[in-house]
Structure 1
């Protein structure tokens, strides 16, 4: 049900797709085999580590007291107050359970507020019709943002031309996208694979203000990884709305849409409602997660861990004789081996590390559970695997011949 977890995206025919339990940085498969996760960590949802005792205790209390009733859960009010206090631009909040639906809600509110239907966007923002409509206009407009060749089957053809993609850090392309007078929404990630060029975010903010366009920052992935809140705080450029997810519930389903009052009140002029948005587990988990984050200063620790891992990747690559390209936020860092066989090498690393008891690829979502001992063990085993990669590079061996199955499929390809 999630593309990022499909076995063919990781290690076709050999990935242990299902788990029985988790703890810290460890995942046990259905046969009870433990694997240390130096990879996806729940696709970026568990920055405190798996099965964190304080967060789980808050959830267990909800289970005991009741999760959903005819009344609303007060935790949603407390969470709204907490998040708004952290983000000076915001006055109001709404909550969902998944990133894709939260982004769809944000687009609906922003369109209602601006009175215009078209969306200029950069990056990946989910699976809903508003986003995939980009592939209706010219066939491959999403190729750089999502997956090359992605078919928008099931998306109404009437939505063709309703969205305008633009590449990250390309001011000319952005200006072209918002030159359409029907564009009322700008939807983008603050940063993903590379930071903004000087003046880039400022230019976007200025254009949005001058044209009366609602600027939305999608922080479902970037939020709480470098700052205690949105990544936009690092750059000092405020949006009109921001969407948060993944990190704020430490594995429990909760997403938040924050916004200026003038924008958010437009939600009252349309219909946005769902029964399970009022369940209690999500906001209770988020409140507990925020408490732990603040106490542990998790954003600083996972950023330091990511920077240390990136430095050691660079050092190890120099030692064994391979060349890397680095990308991503420090707490969500990755590398690509500079070779025509890059995807085969990624698959080989996953295969060989799995045999040593690791979930590993060419990226990592850092967590508090990735302590120094774990990282040291990881690099001890990774050195042996990268030595095989270096040998392939030096003697011309096709790494695909060392695989026990097919090369993994390519994952999300993003322009930012």
Structure 2
């Protein structure tokens, strides 16, 4: 090979990786430029509970999204790992089907009584594409109204063909649509969260062509009173299938979808991430008359028949049920929210915190937020903590871990406040400011 790594580690290994892996990593959100350029550890050797060990054997407590929101029980949960290992030892794939996919379907239907049938994939983007295919097959229509982040597939990113800024409030600013067929222009239209007029205006303009209305119902600050009821009513009025995307929100504060806390039942709901605690797995549940349309179209993939995904999901859900995980994760999230708010208050920093307790994000209202956030990330790294502006509470965050986070964030905010006041913050960020937005990362 022309390029060969020579015992590179951390950020240097990431820089090398970009020469042979486009973008450097398999997930956009794991690009080092999104954290602390030049300093982010980038690679791990071991992850257990909420502790991550990098290639230099340095240990960090993870107070980010913990595996991009996948490992709500903590990394390498013993109970889940035992189930996975058993499924591997007995053959993770075969010419025949695995029984676990039937067992998981029964479990999911029991948790969501109005949902009658289930299909699987192995990632959130895949299962959302399946849900859209089913909705289109059922209705015979082709347009989709979207609200929130729903993956990378053509059907979703095509929203930016008509206007390159369409997804700015749903995904990241500057997301490109290169490679998406121009013929898909106009098939996907975004509407604004908590603004029912925004949705009605879209459907009314083309009342007989919308196959689906898909929305992340529980992200950021959640729905206003009566909003989800109105979304369901409008979708029904125009004959569109209502899909709740709970890839991120599901199986955290509730055993199943967050929508269960409301009286609104969608036609379909999707799950991923936390459902199987870090093992690839996703599912779409729906009403029988809609889900049966699946058989009229072709959607199939070899590794969807893998045994480890359903085995991990069953073990994860049963562990959640037995240990009342949702209640604990929510409580820890509320504790973290209070810690962050009070730390900012003590340091005289104006802060905005959003998100449900298990999916917190914050922003300090300072003159240069990207610079300030980069400083926070660097400061927390020095204190042995992986941190960012998104903090997902985790079952494995112990009282001791939370106390360490509290001490670190208080010290960091205090130092940051002084540097802003003294106008020397930039001196403490020597290797560059973190990138904000898709287009900025590419530059």
TM-score, normalized by the shorter chain, greater than 0.5:
yes
1:3 paired with 2:28, answer: yes
User: Contact 1:38 / 1:365 at 8 angstroms: preserved in 2?
Assistant: yes
User: Counterpart of 1:178 in 2: which secondary structure?
Assistant: helix
Q: How far apart are 1:412 and its partner, in Å?
A: 7.8
Higher relative contact order (CA 8 A, sep 6+): 1
Task: State the distance in 2 between where 1:158 and 1:325 align.
Answer: 41
List per-residue Cα deviations over 1:159-214 (Å, max 9, x = no partner): 00001101101111111122122112001101211111111100011112222210
1:375 and 1:30 mapped to 2: Cα distance? 25
The TM-score normalised by the length of structure 2 is 0.91
Structure 1 partner of 2:140: 115
- 2:292 alignment partner in structure 1: 265
Q: Distance in 2 between matches of 1:52 and 1:238?
A: 32
Whether the aligned pair in 1 keeps the contact of 2:340 and 2:409 (CA below 8 Å) is no
Contact 1:216-1:242 within 8 A present in 2 as well: yes
**Of 383, 394, 418, which aligns to 1:391?**
418
TM-score, with structure 1 as normaliser: 0.97
Contact preservation (8 Å) 2:173, 2:437: no
- Mapped partners of 2:43, 2:113: distance in 1: 41
Post-superposition CA distance 1:18-53 (Å, at most 9, x none): 111111110111121111101121011111111100
Aligned match of 1:75 in 92, 96, 100?
100
Whole-Å separation in 1 of the counterparts to 2:327 and 2:171: 30
**Residue 403 of structure 1 aligns with which residue?**
429
- In the alignment, is residue 188 of structure 1 matched against residue 226 of structure 2? no
Deviation track 1:78-122 (CA, whole Å, cap 9, x = no partner) reads 000000111122000001000001100110001111111000000
2:175 and 2:438 in contact (8 A); partners too:
no
1:353 paired with 2:380, answer yes
Structure 1 residue 295: deviation in Å? 0.8
Give yes or no for contact 2:336–2:393 (8 Å, CA) kept in 1: no
> Quick one: distance in 2 between partners of 1:102 and 1:299?
23
1:263-300, Cα deviation, whole Å (9 max, x unpaired): 10000110010110000000000000011100111111
Distance 1:330 1:384 in 2: 23
Distance 1:403 1:396 in 2: 13
What is the aligned partner in structure 2 of residue 48 from structure 1?
Answer: 73
Q: CA deviation at 1:411?
A: 5.0
2:232 maps to 205
Paired positions, count? 412
- Partners of 1:220 and 1:400 lie apart in 2 by 38
- 1:123-202 matched pairs, under 5 angstroms: 123-179=148-204, 180-181=206-207, 182-202=209-229
Distance 1:323 1:346 in 2: 14
Do the aligned residues in 2 keep the contact of 1:146 with 1:412 (CA within 8 Å)?
no
- Give 3-state SS (helix, strand or coil) of 1:72's partner: coil
The 4+ residue runs of structure 1 with deviation greater than 2 A are 392-397
Cα offset, 1:401, TM superposition:
2.7
- Can you give the 5+ residue segments of structure 2 that lack an aligned partner in the other structure? 1-25
- On the 8 A contact 2:174/2:438 being kept in 1, the answer is no
> What is the CA–CA distance in structure 2 between the aligned matches of 1:272 and 1:313, rounded to whole Å?
45
Deviation at 1:17, TM superposition (A): 1.0
Structure 1 pair 189–412 and aligned structure 2 pair: CA distance change class (3 A): farther
Q: What corresponds to 1:39 in structure 2?
A: 64
Q: For the residues of structure 1 that align with 2:158 and 2:251, how far apart are their CA atoms?
A: 30
Q: 2:276 corresponds to which residue? A: 249
**Residue from 386, 389, 400 that aligns with 1:373:** 400
Q: Distance in 2 between matches of 1:219 and 1:62?
A: 27
Report the counterpart of residue 327 of structure 1 in structure 2.
354
Please state if 1:309 is matched with 2:336.
yes
SS of the residue corresponding to residue 242 of structure 2 reads: strand
Whole-angstrom CA distance in 1 between matches of 2:292 and 2:427: 59
Aligned to 2:242: 215
Q: CA deviation at 1:147?
A: 2.1
Query: 1:39–1:360: 8 Å Cα contact kept in structure 2?
Result: yes
Aligned residue for 1:44, secondary structure, equals coil
* CA deviations over 1:110-162 (Å, ceiling 9, x no partner): 11111110000001100000001011112321222222222101000000000
Gapped regions of structure 1 (runs ≥ 5): none
